[in-house]
Structure 1
Amino acid sequence: MTQTKPRVGAPVGEMTWPLTNGGTVSVGGARDRWTMLFVYRGKHCPRCKRFLNKLDAALPAWTAQMDVVVVSADTQDKAQADKAEFGWGFDLAYGLSEAQMRDLGLYVSDPLSEAETTDRFAEPGAFGIRPDGTLMLVDISNGPAARPDLEELLDGMTFNIENNRPVRGTA
């Protein structure tokens, strides 16, 4: 079995997604700030909602350090329904393609039934991206139960940013 791991230290290919507010958001390529990309499973996932609610509660601390991008493979309707229901303060992107999931090294799942969802979706992932567009940190899971601790992750990312730490895990 082969699962392509994202290459830390390598450039992240540019990806653009629509936002529920009508704009777009991109990752990859040079930016003014660091970016943390969070991929979530989609509207069907209650664990994702709990994680994103925690992110929303800590959002000011996150955005003081870096840009935050949150995306799923959901349709516009599903993403807008979540945004309306939960009132998250972060911009919510949708339309992550299967090719983009694979480019990020994410695990991809088929729905267990139409009651869950109707299309393939990405399992969770978090990606710290340097302002030069290279990948600094990767955290991926093959299921909904394994998520990074947001407080620890922010603390570690803040340390990396303030101390210009090198990429680890390259061997």
Structure 2
Amino acid sequence: MHTTSHKPRVGAPVDQTSFPLLGGGSVIIGAPKDRWTLLVVYRGKHCPRCKRYLNKFNAMLADWTAIMDVIVVSADTEAEAKADVAEFGWGFDLCYGMTEAQMRALGLYVSDPLSEAETTDRFAEPGTFAIRPDGTLMLVDISNGPASRPDLDELLDGMRFNIENDRPVRGTA
């Protein structure tokens, strides 16, 4: 029996969760800190759409890190994450080893591989989360497949506005 995902509650604290960081150490989301955090969940090494999206994100990285911390995570192994960084030269904090329980706690859709050529383990479908410095969830975008993700230019513009104007959480009803 599969544990079901729940709809993330904006305005509520994000459960403190730790992800192993490529290069050593770990990253914790949901704990109070001095900056906003953008958490981007991608499907993994097997997904070419993820690579295109993350390559565009990496090209904009300085604009993002000027306003918030950035964490990118998947269920990939450390070796798979290292291979992607070696191939694409990503500069963002890349985490790996996301568990199914962590996926479900964030309300992500979880998929089984279509074949071993794709991957061998369950993985999360894309999700983007903006977390306030106090550890509460401000914004969430969750997809059930690789073709639907937030436009990075629009998201960056909106996050700048939200941060600069201390905008309230929307969509709470």
Q: Same fold (TM over 0.5)?
A: yes
CA contact (8 A) 2:5 2:104 kept: no
Paired residue total: 170
CA contact (8 A) 2:19 2:95 kept: yes
Q: CA deviation at 1:3?
A: 5.2
What residue is the counterpart of 1:100 in the other structure? 102
CA contact (8 A) 1:20 1:83 kept: no
Q: CA deviation at 1:23?
A: 2.3
Give TM-score scaled by structure 1 length.
0.97
Q: CA deviation at 1:22?
A: 1.6
Supply the AA of the counterpart residue of 2:37.
T
CA contact (8 A) 1:21 1:91 kept: no
Of all paired residues, the percent bearing the same amino acid is 76
Provide the secondary structure at the position in 1 that maps to 2:159.
helix
CA contact (8 A) 2:36 2:133 kept: yes
Whole-Å separation in 1 of the counterparts to 2:160 and 2:25: 28
Provide the secondary structure at the position in 2 that maps to 1:95.
coil
1:8 equivalenced with 2:35 (yes/no):
no
Structure 1: tracts of 5 or more residues without a match: none
Matches within 5 A, 1:1-171: 4-171=6-173
Q: Which runs of 4+ in 1 moved over 4 A?
A: none
Structure 2: tracts of 5 or more residues without a match: none
Q: For residues 115-140 of structure 1, what are the alpha-carbon distances to aligned partners after superposition, in whole Å with 9 as ceiling and x for unaligned? A: 00000000000000000000000000
Whole-Å separation in 2 of the counterparts to 1:29 and 1:11: 9
Q: CA deviation at 1:19?
A: 1.5
Q: For residues 36-60 of structure 1, what are the alpha-carbon distances to aligned partners after superposition, in whole Å with 9 as ceiling and x for unaligned? A: 0000000000000000000100000
Whole-Å separation in 2 of the counterparts to 1:34 and 1:53: 22
Whole-Å separation in 2 of the counterparts to 1:136 and 1:52: 22
